[in-house]
Amino acid sequence: MAATAASVGGIADTPADALALLRGASGINPPLLDQSLRTFVSREPVSCLPETAIHAVLETMGREHIGAMVVTDQDRHPIGVFTLRDLLEKVALGKVDSTNPISTVMDKAIWALPSGAQGFEAAVLMAREGIRYVLLVESERLVGVVSESRLFSVWRGGIGDTSATIRGARNVDEMAAATAGIRVLVDRLLEERMAAESVTRVITTLNDLVTGRLIEIVGAAAPLERAGGCWIALGSQGRCEQTLATDQDNGIIFVDGGDVESRRRELLPYARNVNEALDRCGFPLCRGEVMASNPKWCLSLSEWRRCFAQWIDEPDPRALLNATIFFDFRPIQGNRAVASELRAWLARHAEDSGRFLLPMVHNALTSQPPLGLVRDFILASGGEHPDTLDLKVNGVQLFVESARIYSLLTGVTATNTLDRFAALAKTRLLAGAEIEAWEESFRFMQLLRVRHNAAQRVRGEPLHNHINPAVLNELDRRILKEALRQARNLQSRLARDFSVANANFGV
């Protein structure tokens, strides 16, 4: 059989070869948590109607040996869940007559995922919400139930226990010990060959839990609630793309009306306590002071709108820098509705302001993939990290910024880069094959970053994103070169779409 371009020396010559090469980076058989949730379902889901008597539900649960009963309407749309915890808390103590309908004691909070979602998404949801069951749906109809016991091999001593430790922390010192467990967990997930997207989402989800619990520990939850405020994550945490090498970028949005300055004065000391507590837990203070304790980033909804409007309507270098940090905000704790309102307004305003996008494109094209015409890679010749390339600035960031620009152009509200690409594929603005190659390239470079950081942590070295390609095996070097080539293709596409002249992206 003749060898293809992807199976011999050099890089892939065709789009199909490129995609095959990039996909080969994650292995043939996906690890447990990267498999479809369908693989975790071994039986038809057991359900009942809301008018079913409690005692009848209990008899069915005992007969079927299940720990949860899903309550659905006539069309199999889930409307509630009844678990053994509900039995103990609501029925066994004699609070409710067992002849009453199950609708009187069911939990109306529904946590569901599409059946095609991956295992790690269910694990992350369980960790974030402190739940034991996730419903699987197709066309909003119940098709399965996944319990934490079905995720047992990665849950016990892993994501579940780590999230429980975080939730149970009573002070900052205990939280600092809990966050150390996140680093150990990442080592385990990498050993189990989890994909980079899974690992970074797990890291971010657990970091979200840390932030939320610290807000409660230092007493910031009450003033946040009084102000109708929401703690927001920015940058990589806002995109759910955190690695082990991360500092903190955050802010606060609170509702309009009343004495805005008075509310800000009340919030700022508590925000400072949260920022300092995060610092003690391994999340360094932002050197640029992009933190909720900075009065510039503890703002009412109207003030945030004015900030974004000024950045969009009067773009300058500072506005472009802010765009790379603030446009990816995501709510963490508090009044999520006010954050959603700002996100919806921003999507509309940015989509109507093409004048802002062109400077963003120019900014996104200033940093180019470190590929040479003679050598495979262009490496730093001096500085703090000689003979290396920056996987973040000269790799991952090229995909992040391009996905953000196209999302602002089309009104896509997602903040995660892969979610943005997926949404853009539905707009048909970009070809599906192009997007697939960019997604796989982004995933591979993120995987290299996480592996690199984990190895640095084990060696007791400072964490950074600079890597010497010479330390990689031959296959990983080839895949990295192809991933950077795809970054160059994406930048070329960006330049064409926005008619940027004199853009040189190599041969």
How many angstroms separate the CA atoms of 293 and 374, rounded? Answer: 49
In this predicted model, what pLDDT tens digit does every residue of 166-204 receive, in sequence order? 999 999 999 999 998 888 888 888 877 778 888 898 899
**CATH 3.30.460.10 residue spans of the chain:** 160-335
137-146: burial string, b at 16+ Cβ within 10 Å, e else: beeeebbbbb
Other C-beta atoms closer than 10 Å to the C-beta of 1 total 4
Residues 6+ apart with CB under 8 A from 361: 405, 494, 495, 498, 500
pLDDT at 20: 64
- 3-class secondary structure, 368: coil
The answer to whether the CB of 160 falls within 8 A of the CB of 128 is no
pLDDT at 457: 87
Both tokens of residue 26?
């994650």
In this predicted model, what pLDDT tens digit does every residue of 284-310 receive, in sequence order? 999 999 999 999 999 999 999 999 998
**CATH 3.10.580.10 residue spans of the chain:** 34-153
In this predicted model, what pLDDT tens digit does every residue of 296-348 receive, in sequence order? 999 999 999 999 998 888 888 888 888 888 999 999 999 999 999 999 999 88
The answer to whether the CB of 207 falls within 8 A of the CB of 182 is yes
What is the CATH number that goes with domain 34-153?
A: 3.10.580.10
Q: What is the pTM of this model?
A: 0.79
Q: Rounded mean pLDDT of 243-258? A: 92
- Name the band, by pLDDT with cuts 50, 70 and 90, for residue 26: very low
pLDDT at 23: 62
pLDDT of residue 378 exceeding 50: yes
Alpha-carbon distances of 397 from 357, 363, 417, rounded to whole Å? 17, 12, 10
How many angstroms separate the CA atoms of 48 and 57, rounded? Answer: 8
Tell me the CATH class for 359-497: mainly alpha
Alpha-carbon distances of 126 from 130, 159, 198, 200, 313, rounded to whole Å? 5, 9, 14, 16, 41
The answer to whether the CB of 113 falls within 8 A of the CB of 121 is yes
| Beta strand spans in 363-410 (E) | 389-390
pLDDT at 448: 93
**CATH 1.20.120 residue spans of the chain:** 359-497
Q: What is the C-alpha R_g of the chain?
A: 24
The closest of 167, 168, 126, 171 to 145, measured between CA atoms, is 126
In this predicted model, what pLDDT tens digit does every residue of 54-86 receive, in sequence order? 999 999 999 998 889 999 999 999 999 998 888
Both tokens of residue 388?
């290396």
Q: Rounded mean pLDDT of 443-461? A: 91
DSSP designation for 102: G
Burial class (CB in 10 A: 0-12, 13-18, 19+), 328: buried
- Alpha carbon distance, N-terminus to C-terminus of the chain: 31
Q: Rounded mean pLDDT of 367-373? A: 87
DSSP designation for 255: -
DSSP 117-184: SBHHHHHHHHHHHT-SEEEEEETTEEEEEEEGGGGHHHHTTTHHHHHHHHHH--SHHHHHHHHHHHHH
Q: Rounded mean pLDDT of 404-423? A: 92
Q: Rounded mean pLDDT of 126-151? A: 86
* Domain spanning 160-335: CATH superfamily: Beta Polymerase, domain 2 (3.30.460.10)
How many angstroms separate the CA atoms of 41 and 35, rounded? Answer: 12
The answer to whether the CB of 406 falls within 8 A of the CB of 382 is no
